[in-house]
């Protein structure tokens, strides 16, 4: 995972985030590593509860409760150790250098303050400029993200805007600072399809303009193909596969990735065909970490899968897989269902 050091903007290494609950320790993220280069886009995919969102909020050190703790690993942003950053520096980092776009734009803005107030508040929090300058800057940003009648929108309350509009406002807020990294946590899930495309286009064009890296979390494999340079597939808190988008779609190696790609609906298929699913359910996160987390749903399971955790191995340059049967020495071919007599 070693790219030329100067290009790497974000490096996450062996990140573990545990939730301490009354019924035990939930290993929400249990050893995730990746790097993100300047100006590039990385996608994180996986089903609900696989730790995508927790991973991304950990980069911002935004834990939802005191029971959620980063217990191990490191997060490095341009040679700065984020986990050791002081609260004061963290405030400067959040919202200025690193921005986050959340899933539901309608609830992402404070409902009782006008859009303009919230934008000015944020700009002035990071830049020592007057209210008027901040106001002008906010109007500029709204224009940049393609909001018509920007001055008028500054006086609007969030509930007076549509979902797509709110998401644009939030993106505009990100643009007001000097964002080097934008974390987009399912930015289009709550929007309808045409607006989705517009928002993604907007993100792409801003990325080009500002040379920002994007960490995109999504369920939508189509969006990944469209937007991302690299993809990380997560399952039950672990990275299971990590590669260039092209490589991953062309020759996926982990059985879970095969399942994910198979479950995409195909335009060519007839309407009566049932969607393919991966049988079974993800494991209880309190019980993971003793064996391959996917063993109970994997058609290629072996004795070894039940006994030990598969390490993340670089099988080909830039292509990482965590599977006992795909570690270079062994090469599993898709469709060769269990020769181990299961």
Partner 1 sequence: MLKMMLKRFLQTIPTLFIVVTITFCLTRMLPGDPAVAILGIEAKQEDIEAMRAKMNLDKSLPEQYRLYITGLVKGDFGYSYSYRQDVFGLIISRIPNTLSLTLVALVFAFFIGTAVGIAAAIKQNTWFDYVFMVLALVGVSMPIFWMALMLVLQFSVKMNLLPVMGMGDWSKGFGDVVSHMILPGFCLATIPMATFARTTRSSMIETLSSDYIRCLRARGIREWKVIMIHGLKNALPPLVTVLGLQIASTFTGAIITEGIFSWPGMGTMINTAINNRDYSLIQGTVLFSAIMFVFCNMLVDMAYLVLNPKVKEV
CA atoms within 13 A on the CB side of 79: 4
Indicate whether 94 belongs to the interface with partner 1 (CB under 8 A): yes
Residues 77/80/86/92 CA torsion (nearest 10 deg): -50
In the bound state with partner 1, the residue whose beta carbon lies nearer, of 17 and 99, is 99
Indicate whether 319 belongs to the interface with partner 1 (CB under 8 A): no
* Residue 8 neighbours by CB under 8 Å, 6+ apart: 35, 36, 37, 38
Indicate whether 159 belongs to the interface with partner 1 (CB under 8 A): yes
- The CA distance from 61 to 55, in Å, is 10
Indicate whether 157 belongs to the interface with partner 1 (CB under 8 A): yes
In the bound state with partner 1, the residue whose beta carbon lies nearer, of 134 and 292, is 134
Total residues interacting with partner 1, rule: CB under 8 A? 29
Indicate whether 239 belongs to the interface with partner 1 (CB under 8 A): no
Binding mask 160-199 for partner 1 (x = CB under 8 A): ----------x--x--------------------------
Indicate whether 107 belongs to the interface with partner 1 (CB under 8 A): yes
Indicate whether 95 belongs to the interface with partner 1 (CB under 8 A): yes
> Taking the complex as a whole, how short is the minimal distance between the CB of residue 122 and partner 1, in angstroms?
5
Candidate residues 28, 45, 99, 182; the one interacting with partner 1 per rule CB under 8 A? 99
Determine the straight-line distance between the first and last CA of the chain, rounded to whole angstroms. Answer: 35
Indicate whether 128 belongs to the interface with partner 1 (CB under 8 A): no
> Taking the complex as a whole, how short is the minimal distance between the CB of residue 53 and partner 1, in angstroms?
11
- The CA distance from 70 to 27, in Å, is 10
Greatest C-alpha distance within the chain: 73
Q: Which pair of structure tokens corresponds to residue 75?
A: 């997060």
Phi, psi angle pair for 90, to nearest 5°: -60, -40
In the bound state with partner 1, the residue whose beta carbon lies nearer, of 139 and 173, is 173
Bridge partner residues of 8 (DSSP): 37
* Residue 65 neighbours by CB under 8 Å, 6+ apart: 19
Indicate whether 40 belongs to the interface with partner 1 (CB under 8 A): no
> Taking the complex as a whole, how short is the minimal distance between the CB of residue 9 and partner 1, in angstroms?
18
> Taking the complex as a whole, how short is the minimal distance between the CB of residue 338 and partner 1, in angstroms?
45
Candidate residues 22, 112, 267, 337; the one interacting with partner 1 per rule CB under 8 A? 112
- The CA distance from 126 to 267, in Å, is 47
> Taking the complex as a whole, how short is the minimal distance between the CB of residue 89 and partner 1, in angstroms?
10
Neighbours of 274 (CB within 10 A): 6
In the bound state with partner 1, the residue whose beta carbon lies nearer, of 110 and 330, is 110
Closest CA to 170 of 217, 113, 104, 93: 104
CB 233 within 8 A of CB 288: no
Candidate residues 40, 53, 68, 108; the one interacting with partner 1 per rule CB under 8 A? 108
Point out which residues bind partner 1 (CB under 8 A). Answer: 60, 62, 64, 90-96, 99-100, 102, 104, 107-113, 121-122, 125-126, 157, 159, 170, 173
């Amino acid at each position: 995972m070693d790219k030329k050091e100067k290009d790497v903007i974000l490096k996450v290494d062996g990140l573990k985030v545990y939730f301490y609950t009354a019924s035990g320790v939930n290993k929400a993220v249990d050893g995730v590593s990746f790097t993100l280069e300047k100006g590039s886009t990385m996608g994180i995919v996986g089903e609900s509860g696989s730790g995508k969102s927790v991973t991304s909020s950990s980069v911002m050190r935004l834990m939802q409760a005191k029971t959620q703790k980063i217990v191990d690993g490191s997060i490095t942003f341009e040679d700065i150790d984020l986990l050791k950053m002081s609260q004061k520096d963290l405030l400067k980092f959040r919202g200025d250098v690193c921005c986050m776009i959340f899933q539901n734009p309608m609830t992402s803005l404070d409902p009782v303050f006008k859009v303009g107030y919230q934008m000015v508040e944020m700009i002035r929090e990071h830049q020592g400029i007057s209210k008027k300058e901040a106001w002008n800057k906010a109007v500029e940003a709204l224009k940049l993200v393609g909001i018509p009648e920007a001055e008028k929108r500054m006086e609007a309350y969030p509930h007076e805007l549509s979902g797509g509009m709110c998401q644009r406002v939030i993106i505009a807020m990100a643009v007001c600072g000097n964002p080097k990294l934008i974390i987009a946590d399912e930015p289009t899930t709550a929007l309808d399809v045409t607006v989705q495309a517009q928002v993604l286009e907007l993100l792409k064009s801003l990325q080009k303009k500002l040379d920002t890296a994007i960490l995109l979390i999504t369920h939508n494999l189509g969006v990944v193909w469209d937007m991302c340079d690299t993809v990380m597939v997560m399952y039950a808190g672990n990275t299971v596969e990590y590669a260039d988008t092209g490589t991953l779609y062309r020759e996926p190696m982990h059985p879970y990735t095969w399942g994910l790609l198979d479950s995409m609906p195909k335009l060519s298929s007839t309407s009566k065909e049932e969607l393919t699913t991966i049988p079974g359910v993800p494991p209880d996160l309190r019980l993971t970490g003793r064996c391959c987390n996917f063993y109970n749903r994997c058609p290629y399971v072996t004795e070894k899968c039940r006994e030990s955790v598969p390490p993340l191995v670089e099988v080909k340059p830039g292509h990482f897989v965590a599977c006992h049967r795909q570690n270079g020495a062994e090469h599993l071919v898709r469709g060769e269902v269990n020769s181990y007599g299961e």
